[in-house]
């Protein structure tokens, strides 16, 4: 049995494992390391995962879902054909696919995983991630923050005995910043900050809005298939701008061609509001770590969105230096998660490496404040463990009754940074009895203990009676009971998942269908003919004929995509 490292991303996901003296990525059934975080359901009710599903975003938008990680831990539901899924259930299909890839590659059962999450994921989002893994049949050994995982992968191979560095993680849907110090084999997380709703998808959406406004098109008046076509062009435009000074978005709507050109400087001006949003988490992380930009030895970029030249430019201006670009921004987190597996198992190759972490959010309780006019007002946040406190940690605070003859105190447990608890996340509550007495005479001691596995223990003691109340809040634990998980597993087992051994042929068909919808005239007819020839070959079940037809179709589709990238 094996334990794997998983980078569960908004746009793409990866899986890795620890072998001998290093971490290595595991390819999927298509021989690729990146598995798109996209799910689709076909006409027969079969669930498609990854590249095949991504190809159907344009051709079958009503039964295809992407970027669902942005809504994990919420009530949002996705209706795909005959099924209704939550974000964590869609994520479970991605995890299940990665698990199957790992089992096929390692030739052994995979039972556990270290899974990366954005550093700024709250309690509900972390619980939902763990639920997704449980539904997929995996035990989560640990949830590790994405920038921390990347820092492990980066820091493990540094020759300098002492290094301070900032990890800038801009993925498809989230943005995280971590500041770490490497000192004599100890990787010490100093601070983390982030924005759970900022990522590469937002830059694509800005280009999409630019296209619509350029042609005075209203998104509400366009069907989902047309919107998917425009989004695909915006994404292609964003990628082209990574290598070219300008790009063109071209979409055919109701037999009319709409074309928009944009250059890099126009793109930078367009996304200025997004670039400004990057500054605040960076400034907070530096402030919490008591560091200035000049105190850092390096800035590390991870996440696919950091490939955009304007991101590198913004970071260079902010820190007065070029960021490190010697690591693959897409692969680092998965490798770090695999290294964390080895760290947890105390692999001999990592005996001298120690990782410390911090509490990502402030943990506290609700208190009553006495206003200037003598009136009492409840609902104020009282911090007990501040954000970015090194963990494990234990803190105790004494609070007093506010009313005469008060016979109990309700202790609410909150997570967040706002001064009002209504704007923070409630994790739980405890109630304890106290002897009736004048206001301010009776007191309780509240102790919060938070460990590296994300388990918060809350202990409340009456200072007069010695009565003790205790609760354990597992930040990384799911809400489902074992019976509920088993029941949902049985339900999901009824759903057919597309088999790995047919993935290449299915992908080729999906890509052909997608390009057919994007093309016009003779090129469209040529694709239709080649698709028909390939489908005919598949019905013969003759491997030689299938391979020949597949080769011809694949070569033609690749030529079209190359033409798209230069047009």
Domain assignment of residue 218, yes or no: no
**How far apart, in whole angstroms, are the C-alpha atoms of residue 454 and residue 389?**
13
pLDDT higher at 525 or 316: 316
Same domain (yes/no): 84, 154: yes
Same domain (yes/no): 104, 23: yes
Q: Per-residue pLDDT for 351 more than 70?
A: no
Angle (nearest 5°) at CA 456 between 452 and 462: 140
Domain assignment of residue 500, yes or no: no
Domain assignment of residue 508, yes or no: no
Domain assignment of residue 77, yes or no: yes
Tokens 């997570």 -> residue: 415
Please pick, among 146, 201, 330, 518, the residue that the annotation labels catalytic. Answer: 146
pLDDT winner (highest mean) among 2-16, 160-174, 175-189, 421-435: 2-16
Same domain (yes/no): 6, 110: yes
Domain assignment of residue 254, yes or no: no
**Going by C-beta distance under 8 Å and a sequence separation of 6 or more, which residues neighbour residue 290?**
none
Domain assignment of residue 447, yes or no: yes
Q: Which token pair is 406?
A: 């008060």
Arithmetic mean of pLDDT over the chain: 88
Q: Per-residue pLDDT for 33 more than 50?
A: yes
Same domain (yes/no): 351, 408: no
Confidence of residue 113 (pLDDT cuts 50, 70, 90): very high
Of 44-58, 353-367, 403-417, the least confident: 353-367
Residues of the chain above pLDDT 70, percent: 92
Please pick, among 42, 89, 141, 169, the residue that the annotation labels catalytic. Answer: 169
Query: What total number of domains does the chain contain?
Result: 3
pLDDT winner (highest mean) among 194-198, 268-272, 297-301, 505-509: 268-272
Beta partners for residue 532, in sequence order: none
Same domain (yes/no): 68, 169: yes
Q: Where are the beta strands (DSSP E) in 103-219?
A: 110-117, 139-145, 162-170, 175-183, 186-195
Same domain (yes/no): 387, 334: no
Same domain (yes/no): 526, 394: no
Q: What is the DSSP letter of 44?
A: T
* Active-site annotation holds for 238: no
Confidence of residue 480 (pLDDT cuts 50, 70, 90): low
* Active-site annotation holds for 225: no
Q: Per-residue pLDDT for 437 more than 60?
A: yes
Q: Which token pair is 151?
A: 């820092």
Same domain (yes/no): 168, 22: yes
* Active-site annotation holds for 146: yes
**Domain with 536 in it:** 519-566
Same domain (yes/no): 169, 294: yes
Q: What is the DSSP letter of 496?
A: P
Q: Per-residue pLDDT for 497 more than 70?
A: no
Same domain (yes/no): 456, 545: no
Question: 214-232 pLDDT, tens per residue?
Answer: 999 998 889 888 999 999 9
Q: Per-residue pLDDT for 477 more than 50?
A: no
Domain assignment of residue 524, yes or no: yes
Please pick, among 54, 69, 99, 130, the residue that the annotation labels catalytic. Answer: 69
Which pLDDT belongs to residue 91? 97
Same domain (yes/no): 126, 193: yes
**How far apart, in whole angstroms, are the C-alpha atoms of residue 492 and residue 49?**
14
Domain assignment of residue 231, yes or no: no
Same domain (yes/no): 407, 447: yes
Q: Per-residue pLDDT for 478 more than 60?
A: no
Query: How many CB atoms lie under 10 A from the CB of residue 59?
Result: 21
- Contact (Cβ atoms closer than 8 angstroms) between residue 36 and residue 7: no
Which pLDDT belongs to residue 566? 53
* Active-site annotation holds for 451: no
Which pLDDT belongs to residue 476? 44
**How far apart, in whole angstroms, are the C-alpha atoms of residue 509 and residue 44?**
16
């Amino acid at each position: 049995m094996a334990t794997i490292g998983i980078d569960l991303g908004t746009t793409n996901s990866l899986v890795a494992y620890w072998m001998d003296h290093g971490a290595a990525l595991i390819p999927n059934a298509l021989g690729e390391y990146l598995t798109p975080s996209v799910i689709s359901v076909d006409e027969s009710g079969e669930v498609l995962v990854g590249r095949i599903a991504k190809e159907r975003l344009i051709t079958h938008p009503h039964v295809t879902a992407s970027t669902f990680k942005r809504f994990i831990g919420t009530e949002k539901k996705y209706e795909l054909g005959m099924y209704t899924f939550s974000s964590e259930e869609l994520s479970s299909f991605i995890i299940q696919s990665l698990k199957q890839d790992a089992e096929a590659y390692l030739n052994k059962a995979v039972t556990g995983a270290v899974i990366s999450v954005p550093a700024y994921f709250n309690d509900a989002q972390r619980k939902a991630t763990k639920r997704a893994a449980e539904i997929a049949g995996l035990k989560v050994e640990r949830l590790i923050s994405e920038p921390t995982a990347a820092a492990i992968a980066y820091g493990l191979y540094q020759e300098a005995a002492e290094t301070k560095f900032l990890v800038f993680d801009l993925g498809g849907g989230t943005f995280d910043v971590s500041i770490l110090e490497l000192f004599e084999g100890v990787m010490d997380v100093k601070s983390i900050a982030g924005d759970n709703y900022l990522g590469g998808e937002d830059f694509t959406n800005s280009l999409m809005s630019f296209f619509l406004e350029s042609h005075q098109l209203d998104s509400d008046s366009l069907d989902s298939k047309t919107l998917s076509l425009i989004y695909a062009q915006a994404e292609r435009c964003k990628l082209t701008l990574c290598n070219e000074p300008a790009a063109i978005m071209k979409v055919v709507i109701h037999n009319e061609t709409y074309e928009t050109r944009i250059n890099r400087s126009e793109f930078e001006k367009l996304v200025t509001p997004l670039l400004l949003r990057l500054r605040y988490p960076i400034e907070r992380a530096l402030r919490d770590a008591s560091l200035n930009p000049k105190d850092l030895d390096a800035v590390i970029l991870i996440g696919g969105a950091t490939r955009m030249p304007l991101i590198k430019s913004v970071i260079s201006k902010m820190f007065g230096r070029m960021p490190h670009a010697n690591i693959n921004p897409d692969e680092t987190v998965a490798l770090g998660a695999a290294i964390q597996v080895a760290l947890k198992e105390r692999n001999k190759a990592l005996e001298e490496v120690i990782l410390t972490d911090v509490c990502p959010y402030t943990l506290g309780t609700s208190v009553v404040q006495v206003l200037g006019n003598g009136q009492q007002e409840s609902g104020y946040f009282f911090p007990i463990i501040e954000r970015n406190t090194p963990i494990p940690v234990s803190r105790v605070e004494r609070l007093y009754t506010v009313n005469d003859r008060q016979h109990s105190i309700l202790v609410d447990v909150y997570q967040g940074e706002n001064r009002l608890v209504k704007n923070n996340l409630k994790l739980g509550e405890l109630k304890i009895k106290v002897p009736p007495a004048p206001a301010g005479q009776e007191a309780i001691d509240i102790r919060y203990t938070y460990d590296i596995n994300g388990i918060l223990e809350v202990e409340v003691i009456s200072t007069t009676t010695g009565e003790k109340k205790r609760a354990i809040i597992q930040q990384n634990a799911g809400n489902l009971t074992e019976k509920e998980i088993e029941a949902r597993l049985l339900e999901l087992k009824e759903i057919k998942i597309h088999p790995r051994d047919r993935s290449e042929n299915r992908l080729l068909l999906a890509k052909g269908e997608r390009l057919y919808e994007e093309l016009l005239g003779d090129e469209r007819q040529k694709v239709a003919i080649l698709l028909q020839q390939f489908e005919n070959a598949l019905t013969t079940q003759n491997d030689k004929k299938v391979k020949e037809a597949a080769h011809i179709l694949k070569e033609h589709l690749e030529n079209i995509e190359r033409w798209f990238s230069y047009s």
